[in-house]
A and B are shown apart, each in its own frame.
Chain A
Amino acid sequence: MDGSAGTASANNSSDFVRKLYKMLEDPSYASVVRWGDEGDSFVVLENEKFTKSILPKHFKHSNFASFVRQLNKYDFHKVRQNNEEGGTSPYGPNAWEFKHPEFKANNKDSLDNIRRKAPAPRKPSAMNEGEIPIQQIDLMNQQLVAQSQQLEQLSQRYAEMAMNQQMVLQEVLRVQKTVLNHEHVIQNVMTFLHSVDAKQRRDSKIMFNTGDTGQTAQLTPTSQSIAVPEDEPASPLQHASKLLNDCNAEVQFNVASMEQLHDLSHKTPGVMSTPPADQHMRNASRAPQSADSSSTLGYARLNNGELDQVVYPMGTNNGIDPMYSEHVNNIPYSLPPKELDPSDPRRQYADGRKKSTFADPGWSRQPRILLVEDDPTCRQIGGKFLYSFCCVIDSALDGLEAVNKIQEGVKYDMILMDIIMPNLDGVSACHLIRQFDRTPIIAMTSNIRSDDIQMYFQHGMDDVLPKPFTRKSLLDMLEKHLSHLKRLPPGMEPPPSATTSSIPQSSTGQSIKDDASSPAQSPAGSMGNWQSPGQYPGVSPIHTNIPNQYAQMANHSPYGTSPHTPITAHIPGRQQQPYQQPQQQPQHRRQISEMSGGVTDMNGFNKRQRVYVQPGPSMGMPGGPQ
């Protein structure tokens, strides 16, 4: 046997085949395994011995089945022993004969021609090909589902917004109309007032009690004192006040829906809402401490408040006493701006700094936020901001940690997720989390090209917070996605606020605070809920303050006993005549009138208000009893 003959070429042949050949060259195995008689096959005569003693030596295993399998891979075939019926193998019934056309005794060179069968490798790969598509299809399916969900959400949101917008438009139109009417009316009233006022004041403080005056006058101390006959003869004033009432009734409605819309819009786009919210928060946080909290607070509402005031003047006239021309100053329109300016800067700068640290946006419970961020700077700042919004913060340093936390069953209200992180990026983490959890996930990243963003959404992210984020943008996000954690559903809010606005110059509180400074006010401030603008809480405080006010007034006037007077207030004004004096002090006039407005609220006012209040209690009917 020229064993050496083909060594060179043997290198090309397979290890397995060479080992096989070498094994067969060993004559000592002849009784167990040997070349076939023809030299073109080999025979395993003694299966057991072969498996136990020879296989281990040459193939490092003792598994006949795998030996056979390997043979098959190289395209060896078992020679059928029973080709002919009854035919038995020439080597015995238990012999295994294998054959390969290129596997021949004495022909080592041809070993090179024995290769692993193509099919063998093919099979596994075929398998892979089969599997991968399935996985991909799964994945694509999931993505499809997710996308269709997102589409659905989007279209829903779109529909909502479209509706909202229409409503807003309608409301705006209506409001425009009413405002126009209003202005007309007021102009009428004012011109009339001007002409009549001077005269009458001079004539006497007794005045004639025009019904309208009564209505309108109530707010002002003067009016109270002066007159309240509600059924007085018609006069230009009465006419005007009727118109006013009509307007009010209409407007109340409109404003209500406006406010709802406003709140709605907060929820959805989450854009407009925040600025006010922020202010509110600041106000709220600061209010308890600052004396002028009431004024600031009052401001917060101004957008609405302005309207409200216009719409729901106290009683009917917003503390404008037709009898006194100076009262023109009390017209609500002009007031807000004045108060705005001072309060605004103050809030911004003085308070802004420190007090902003704690700004409770008004959660019904503290939102739990998971902050996933590898950069310590961003993590600390983000965490601090969240903390200042009264959130409970947990943090994860990368996507992997985040997924683990969610998997462990920790529940969060929102996940803020950096995108580029070690170990596991944010998008992958989101994708994984989405397999079993729907917590809102916000991508926090500076990569905000549209295709990036598209990818984020495709993998189940709910929103994108561009980096570097700001306190405000972060708060916007919270309010947008956690509106369900707000203490009061926005829709419910308007009533109280309106109420407050009905005491138009609760803001006057500023002046009030000085003297009354009162504990009563602080409660107002302490209301963390931004939705309740300071005015809201302000209402009750004012009432409480009233006694103080009266006390003050007492200084200027016979009013000292005042607490009781209110009761009599709507009993037209004979008794009240004496009270007119306070008005001569221009400075206080406003507050006084307002105060008196508040007072009236409490007592006589109630009756009247019920009359038109009913349509929209929510609208902040002054609801004297609060």
Chain B
Amino acid sequence: MAEENHDESLEFGDNVDMSTFEQILDMDDDEDDKEFSKGIVFGFLEQAEQTFDKMEASLASKDLQELSALGHFLKGSSATLGFVKVKDQCERIQHFGAKKDETGTGNIQDEEYCLRMISEALAEAKKTFNEVAAQMRQYYAES
């Protein structure tokens, strides 16, 4: 997945929604140093790692409410950058944290189940995040 990143034909697979991400790239004043988008992306990477740590801690203390809030938070920024797969998992975390089902509509009583699902989603989120992070680092290193 994280292979060829020719400057123009970005190849991030389905990790990244290109129309969204290109909007950010469009905001770069200089195509070459990509200062703006780079700052945003790397800011996000850092923010996401911190958030994952907080999620782990909240998972350990079984704080569903906090997990939901963290999920929502990271969902917003990942969505804005077009990191859709990360976004999807964050949304799951948000919903399960609020004791809702994946669609965010039905209620779930079983908190243990929610925690289990969140743990799953978090693992998936980290995995897909690591992919995107690697792609991004490569992309910005090359460009």
The residues of B that contact A453 with a CB separation of less than 8 Å are none
Count A-B pairs with CB separation below 8 Å: 66
CA–CA, A145 and B26, complex, Å = 44
Whether the Cβ atoms of A468 and B27 lie closer than 8 Å is no
Assess whether B140 is interfacial by the CB under 8 Å rule: no
Chain A residue contacts of B5, Cβ below 8 A: none
Residues of A within 8 A of B77 (CB): 375-378
User: Is A384 in the interface zone, CB < 8 Å from B?
Assistant: yes
A350 to chain B, nearest CB (A): 12
Is there contact, CB below 8 Å, between A377 and B25? no
How far, in whole Å, are A470 and B80 apart by their CA atoms in the complex? 8
Task: Name A388's closest neighbour in chain B (CB-CB).
Answer: B27
Chain B binding surface, main DSSP class:
helix
- How big is chain A's contact interface, by range? 20 to 34
Which residues of B are found within 8 Å of A420, using beta-carbon distances?
69, 72-73
Report if A338 contacts B (CB, 8 A). no
Complex CA gap A468/B83 in Å reads 11
> Contact between B80 and A357 (Cβ–Cβ < 8 Å)?
no
Chain A contacts of B31 at CB under 8 A?
Answer: 353-354
CB-defined contacts of A388 to chain B, threshold 8 Å: 27
Interface flags for A338-372 (1: CB within 8 Å of B; 0: not) read 00000000000000111011000000000000000
Partner of A377, one of B26, B27, B72, B80: B80
Q: How far is the CA of A17 from the CA of B76 in the complex (A)?
A: 61
Binds A, one of B36-44, B57-65, B119-127: B36-44
Confirm or deny: B3 has a beta carbon within 8 angstroms of a beta carbon on chain A: no
B72 contact set on A, CB distance < 8 A: 420, 446
A418 to B76, CA, bound (A): 10
Q: Say yes or no: is A457 at the interface (Cβ < 8 Å to chain B).
A: no
Query: In this assembly, does B79 line the interface, its C-beta being within 8 Å of a C-beta of chain A?
Result: yes
A384 near B27 with CB under 8 A, answer yes
Contact, CB under 8 Å: B23 / A470: yes
Q: Which residue of A lies closest to B94 (CB)?
A: A446
Given A380-B39, A468-B20, A470-B20, CB of A357 within 8 Å of CB of B26: yes
- Say whether B29 contacts A357, CB under 8 Å: yes
Q: Which of A354, A375, A384 contacts B76 (CB 8 A)?
A: A375
Verify if A381 is at the interface (C-beta below 8 Å from B).
yes
CB distance from B20 to the nearest CB of A (A): 6
Given A384-B36, A468-B80, the answer on whether A376 and B20 have CB atoms closer than 8 Å is no
Nearest CB in chain A: distance from B88 CB, A: 12
Residue of A nearest to B81 (CB): A377
Chain A, 289-307, CB within 8 A of any chain B CB: none
Q: For residue A352, which residues in chain B have a CB less than 8 angstroms away from its CB?
A: 26
Q: Does A471 contact B (CB under 8 A)?
A: yes
* Contact across chains for A467 and B25 when beta carbons are under 8 A apart: no
- Note all chain B residues with C-beta closer than 8 A to A471: 23, 26
Instruction: State the Cβ distance, B16 to closest chain A Cβ, in Å.
Output: 13
Smallest distance from the beta carbon of B65 to chain A beta carbons, Å?
A: 12
Q: Which residues of A contact B26 (CB under 8 A)?
A: 352-354, 356-357, 471
B75 contacts the other chain (CB 8 A): yes
Contacting residues, chain A, for B75 (C-beta < 8 A): 446
A312 is an interface residue with CB less than 8 A from chain B: no
Provide the residues of chain B in CB contact with A357, threshold 8 Å: 26-29
In the complex, are the beta carbons of A385 and B79 less than 8 A apart? no
Q: Is B47's beta carbon under 8 Å from chain A?
A: yes
The minimal Cβ–Cβ distance linking A211 to chain B, given in whole angstroms, is 55
Given contacts A354-B31, A380-B43, contact A467 B36 (CB under 8 A): no
Q: B117 within 8 Å of A by Cβ?
A: no
The closest CB in chain B to the CB of A422 belongs to: B69
Is B24's CB within 8 Å of the partner chain A? yes
- Asked whether A446 lies within 8 Å of B73 as measured between CB atoms, the reply is no
**Contact of B24 with A468 in the complex, beta carbons under 8 Å:** no
Which chain B positions have C-beta within 8 A of A354? 26, 29, 31
Told that A385-B27, A446-B76 touch, could you supply 20 new A-B pairs with CB distance under 8 A? A352-B26, A354-B31, A357-B26, A377-B40, A377-B80, A377-B81, A378-B80, A380-B40, A380-B43, A381-B40, A388-B27, A418-B76, A446-B72, A446-B75, A467-B80, A468-B20, A468-B79, A468-B80, A470-B20, A470-B23
The 4 closest A-B pairs by CB, nearest first: A377-B77, A468-B79, A468-B80, A384-B27
17 contacts between A and B (CB under 8 A): A352-B26, A353-B25, A374-B73, A375-B73, A377-B40, A377-B47, A378-B77, A381-B80, A384-B36, A385-B27, A420-B69, A446-B75, A467-B79, A468-B76, A468-B79, A469-B80, A470-B19
